[in-house]
Amino acid sequence: MTDRIPFTEIATAPASRRIDNGIHTRSFSGLYRNLRIGFAGALFALFFGTAWLNWSGRQAVLWDLDNSKFHIFGATFWPQDFILLSALLIICAFGLFAITVYAGRVWCGYSCPQSIWTWLFMWCEKVTEGDRNQRIKLAAAPWSLNKLARRTLKHSLWLAIGVFTGLTFVGYFTPIRPLATELFTLQLGGVALFWVLFFTAATYINAGLLREAVCLHMCPYARFQSVMFDQHTLAVAYDPRRGETRGSRKKGSDPGAQGLGDCIDCTLCVQVCPTGIDIRDGLQMACIGCAACIDACDGVMDKMGYARGLIGYKSEHSLQGGTSHWLRPRLLGYAAALVIMITALVLALQMRPMVSLDVIKDRGLFRENALGQIENIYLLKVINKTERTRHYELRLLDADGFTLQGSTALVIPAGEMSELPVSVAMVAERPHGSSQTLSFEISDRDDPAIHSVAHSRFVAPMNR
């Protein structure tokens, strides 16, 4: 039977660590904090900046719901390309699984929007209400003009961030420039206003009021991530062999002579934790892997003259004195699956037809024209998926005895769809069967490689 990693479930911080129904974190500095700020800055720039970029006279990234198409810089995707979006989401899921097997919940600590926006809101709290001790005193103090002013300013900053977040998110589905103009001139209404207000409220509530409760009680990843851990998975962990027995001591004293380990029991690792847990209790579901406790503990170790790493990214196997193995079957399996799916997606994008053809047969079965020929009516929907105007020709493939009636040429602007009604006449003798399959091909005049084929049925009375 496979050994299981010891697991301590601490759903919420004990009452002794919670003040005024909230967790007040202490300021700190360190390597992992700088990494998190770097990741957050890049993601903020990507999220808030991309929506304002233009490409060939239109918004660079826009999910145009009204016209059922999705623009990503020079590429335009239609509902027929939805399978590619599904593949991208599956790749992201497997990527998350792979990184979890290797390094635990680093997604939660460094890249999750809930964590990033929560850290931003906590920074606003520090700017308006002071550091941890000042916030604790302010929370315990009776209401006054000073307390009211600080709380008002804090919530105003939260709401401002929420508004810009909601505006930007909706701006990926509705052109953001007119959306912003209408919002700030108070002319925005209808569905767009509802969704801006909805995401403003969601940001304000999740990052400002709920915070760690989202990670503890609402996020499904917190529930199933532990099943992807094994004894070689890196996770934020405390080394009890080195740290115990805990106790205070003077700087420069010999802890061994006092029967103490390296942990001085300063509780800074608890004070900086955004979910209010004590990492020294072991692996916990509430730990989001942000490494704040590592930075805090390393700072204390530096001051005491001890080696860093009392708290660090460690595997369960290394904590027991063993050696961690990075190349293991589960991780290799996820990596192989990722490579295969990414390769398949790249090939699918390269092979994606740049013109789409759908053929819809008229509800009527058939009709007889003035020449006595049997005709069927079809509606062709052609989508130009390229970034310039195209000239197309329509023809029938391997259709001896059938002919297209009317114009077979059409011009479609970049990224647009055109409907073309056509009729097909049967010029040969009537078939012995009641229906036959016809193949329609649309191809570009200048680039025959851009073409698409669709099939439909031709219905005629049987020859008796």
Query: Domains of the chain, with CATH numbers?
Result: 355-459 (2.60.40.10)
The alpha helices in 329-373, defined as continuous H runs, are 329-351
pLDDT of residue 2: 46
CA dist 176 and 195 (Å) reads 13
- Calpha distance 226→156 (Å, rounded): 38
- pLDDT of the residue at 65: 85
Evaluated on CA atoms 257, 262, 266, 270, the torsion sign reads: negative
pLDDT digits (tens, 9 = 90+) for 173-222: 999 999 999 999 999 988 999 999 999 999 999 999 999 899 888 888 87
pLDDT under 70: residue ranges of the chain? 1-21, 430-434, 463-464
* Cα–Cα distance measured from residue 193 to residue 413, given in angstroms and rounded to the nearest whole number: 32
Tokens of 266: 């300063």
Give the N- to C-terminal CA distance of the chain in Å, as an integer. Answer: 75
Neighbouring CB atoms inside 10 A of 358's CB total 16
| Alpha helix ranges (H) inside 204-244 | 212-213, 220-224, 240-243
For residue 433, the model assigns a pLDDT of 63
Q: What's the confidence (pLDDT) of residue 1? A: 42
pLDDT for position 463: 65
**φ, ψ for residue 315 (rounded to 5)?**
-95, 160
Long-range contacts of the stretch 136-143 (C-beta < 8 A, 24+): 136/19, 136/20, 136/24, 139/19, 139/20, 139/22, 139/24, 140/19, 140/20
Q: Are 301 and 55 in contact (CB under 8 A)?
A: no
3-state secondary structure of 236: strand
What is the chain's length?
A: 464
Backbone angles phi, psi at 138, to 5 degrees: -65, -40
